[in-house]
Amino acid sequence: MFQVEKIARSLLDALVAHFERDANTPKIVLEGAGVHWDCHVTRQDNQVSIYSCDCSYQPDEQGRTEEFIVSYLHQKQAVACGRTHDRKVVLQSVATWLNHPSKTQLYAGFDFVDRGLRQLQAAERHWLQAFPQLEKLPRLLDDQGSGFAHYTISHRNRACTCTSIGEAGALCWQFVWDGCVLFETLAVPHATAEVLKRYLIDQEA
C-alpha cells in the first residue's frame, strides 16, 4: 500500500468520526487506486472532494507530510478550491460547506480556499492603484483549479505571467519577450507594480 492511500484512508476515518453524531449524516466514500485517492462527502446538492497527497519527500515548516486539495461543489459544479496541510481545517471546512454552501462563508473562515486567486486579485488592485496606466493593458486572471491561479498582463511583444503556487501562495513571475521567457523570479510585493510598469510600458530591459 502506498503512503498516500494510508493518508486517504486515515482521512476517511476522520471524516466518518467527525459526522457520526450529525443528525443529517452525509454520504462519505473513498475512491481511487495506486497513488490517486479522493474522499467524497455529499449532502443533497453539495459535495466536497478531497484529494490526498504524500509530501514526505518535502515536509512543510511544521514537519507535516500530508497535503489535501479540497474542492467544493454545488450541483456537481466546482465553486472553490484550496490546498492545505491542516487536516483539522479540512474537516471544519467540509462541515461549513455542507451546512452553509456559501463561498462568502468559506472565504471568511478559511484562508486556504482560493488563496492564490484571492491573492492575485488583491495584488492586482494594488498594482493598478500604484500605476493606473497598467489598467489599459490586456489582463487575464485564470483559476486553474487544484489550488493554482495564473495571471497574465501584456503589452505589444512583452508579457508578464504570474502563478500562485502551493498553500503559502508564493508568486512566481515569468517575464516574456516575443514568446520567449527572459527570466523568472519570485515576487517582491512592494516592488512588483513598478517592475511591471517599467518592463511593459517603459520597455526597459
Contact 171, 151 (CB under 8 A): no
Per-residue pLDDT of 83-109, as tens digits, reads 999 999 999 999 999 999 999 999 999
Residue 182: count of CB within 10 angstroms of its CB: 12
Burial pattern 161-179, b for ≥16 Cβ within 10 A else e, equals bbbbbebebebebebbeee
- Is the pLDDT reported for residue 189 higher than 70? no
In one letter, which amino acid is 60? Answer: D
Looking at every residue in the chain, the average pLDDT score rounds to 92
- Is the pLDDT reported for residue 157 higher than 80? yes
pTM, 2 dp = 0.89
